[in-house]
Amino acid sequence: MLLHIPEVLNKVQLNLARELLDKAKWADGRVTAGTQAAKVKNNRQLPEDGPEAKQLRALVLEALSKSALFFTAALPKRIYPPLFNRYGGEANSFGNHVDNAIRTHPASAQHVRTDLSFTLFLAEPHEYEGGELVIEDGFAGRPVKLPAGDLILYPSYSVHRVEPVTRGARLACFSWLESMVREPQNRELLYELDMAILAQREQYGDNDISVRLTSCYHNLMRMWANV
């Protein structure tokens, strides 16, 4: 499932993020790539231990914790501390690759199984040419280029790439998460059920049916969730 989550960051948070990104020192993006991905990765990334990266991570994690849509779609158990990248100039693309299955948090040594990947766009589409995130999920890849502050959630098992940026700079935050519900089909079913219950409650208010459906949702969570 590919899910577009709009306005994860509001304008104030976005402006702060851009100020921090302007001040920060960029490094070669290959530091976090696996050996296969490193061959096709050509971008810049913020070193994880820099002061700006720390503030940016806190800002993004706070915003994610407030997004109900992100929570219900991802059912996150562990989120790898978000990273920040820049595509532009000579370092402008990332060819087809898959994300490593396990990421190990450098500070805590905690493992995160990557069930879902996300990209949070931090530059407006008009600020750069190219730079689409292309996710191969069937006959043809789907190009994704979202407004600044919006996020795309996609399966980490997908082959994906970032098209060359030919003008301006594409700034983004990205990371991976381990979901409480490992099986994509189970997770998607829970998401569909949750959305349907929400729509039903909005239309008809709470009633016996919404209570029974909510009970089904939670009982499926009991069966499938690993916390």
Here's the x/- map for Ni ion, 46-85, by CB under 5 A: it reads as ----------------------------------------
> For residue 77, what is the enclosing H or E element?
strand 76-79
Least distance from Ni ion to the Cβ atom of residue 43, Å: 11
Least distance from Ni ion to the Cβ atom of residue 160, Å: 6
Terminal-residue alpha carbon distance, the chain: 22
Q: Which position has the token pair 């700006």?
A: 52
Least distance from Ni ion to the Cβ atom of residue 163, Å: 13
Which one of 99, 150, 163, 178 is in contact with Ni ion (CB under 5 A)? 99
Q: Which is nearer to Ni ion, 48 or 99 (CB)?
A: 99
Here's the x/- map for Ni ion, 128-157, by CB under 5 A: it reads as ------------------------------
3-state secondary structure of 80: coil
Q: Measured between alpha carbons, how far is 127 from 125 in angstroms, rounded to an integer? A: 5
Q: Which is nearer to Ni ion, 45 or 190 (CB)?
A: 45
3-state secondary structure of 29: helix
Query: How buried is residue 10: exposed, middle or buried, by Cβ count under 10 Å (0-12/13-18/19+)?
Result: exposed
Which two tokens mark 8? 């994860």
In this chain, which residue has its C-beta nearest to Ni ion?
99
Which two tokens mark 166? 């030919």
Q: Which is nearer to Ni ion, 31 or 198 (CB)?
A: 31
Catalog residues that contact Ni ion under the rule CB under 5 A: 99
